[in-house]
Amino acid sequence: MRILVTGGTGYVGSHTAVQLIAAGHEVEIVDSLANSKASVSDRIGSISGMAPPLHVFDLRDEGRVDALIAHGRFDAVMHFAGLKAVGESVAKPLEYWDANVGGSTSLLGALQRHGVRSFVFSSSCTVYGDPETVPVTEATPLQPATNPYGATKATIERILTDVHRSDPTWSIGLLRYFNPVGAHESGTIGEDPNDIPNNLMPYICQVAAEREPELRVFGNDYPTRDGTGIRDYIHVEDLAAGHLAALDFLDRSGGIHVWNLGSGSGATVLEMVSAFERATGVRVPYRVTGRRAGDIAATWADPSKANNELGWATSRSIEDMCADAWRWQTTGAANPH
């Protein structure tokens, strides 16, 4: 298939692009480079033997989006593009609503006009809000999102549901994934935020590499094992494989489907710090600060629907995630881009 990957130089998008190419698909990338670098396309090429064409513009530029879709002959779209930091979304809600929802509606409008009807959406477990029970299943009621980032994901899911209801020829996968960590085992691509990390693993790595003085742990008074927040961490390579499984399912079956992509178990922040220290032998100094706006105490997935319908499951441990993230930090991320 010929696949357009939006946000394809970003963290999850780049790993998925590598796996798409390895599976024999033809890939093109569109990315604004708001939180990534153009050289990632070349790094994808160094792994896969084929650097995908990169179109650099924002999806809110409707004219350029329309021209790309009109001439691209795409069979499907994987939509990763968007702003993604929970804390930042609380501080900058207008930016998040405009970029995430505006970019998505611009893209969907072009796809509607030009007959591209297969769509895999990078959604998030944040659509469950602060769930009353864990683990969460796809049938867990969606609570009001605790932050604007999660609210944009829930809104885009609603838009996609309405699009499918209006035109059932669409094939849509809504992938609600939990907390991706790790990096490609080669150390060539990984999570590389342009400024201070908002996600735990790159923050741990930067502290371990002495690029940041200490890890700030946002709250140790949650009702959890050690008082720090519990999340379901999933290796980015396992997550990317879930996207390919969803694409194959949609190609066979059509329809609109929701799948949780997670490991099915949770780890606290301090457990992740300990796992990193075990996996790498590097100490991570930390300091507990107040809770961060928009955070919740605990969430993890029940991934059985994806296990059963997609034939997909995670295969890598937390220690694998830490070791691969550290390899990326000490090789790929440390190199000039």
Active site residues: 149
CA distance 132 to 142: 10
Q: At 233, which helix (H) or strand (E)?
A: strand 233-235
Please, are residues 79 and 6 in contact by the beta-carbon 8 Å criterion? yes
What angle (nearest 5°) sits at the alpha carbon of residue 240, between those of residues 24 and 44? 60
CA distance 188 to 223: 38
Residue closest to 215 by CA, chosen among 198, 240, 233: 198
CA distance 188 to 112: 36
Please, are residues 83 and 104 in contact by the beta-carbon 8 Å criterion? no
Beta-carbon contacts of 89 under 8 Å, excluding residues fewer than 6 positions away, are 83, 96, 147, 148, 149, 150, 152, 294
Residue closest to 273 by CA, chosen among 222, 332, 216, 221: 216
* Strand 230-231 with 267-268, pairing: antiparallel
CA distance 276 to 316: 14
First to last CA, the chain: 30
Tokens (6 digits) for 139: 């049938």
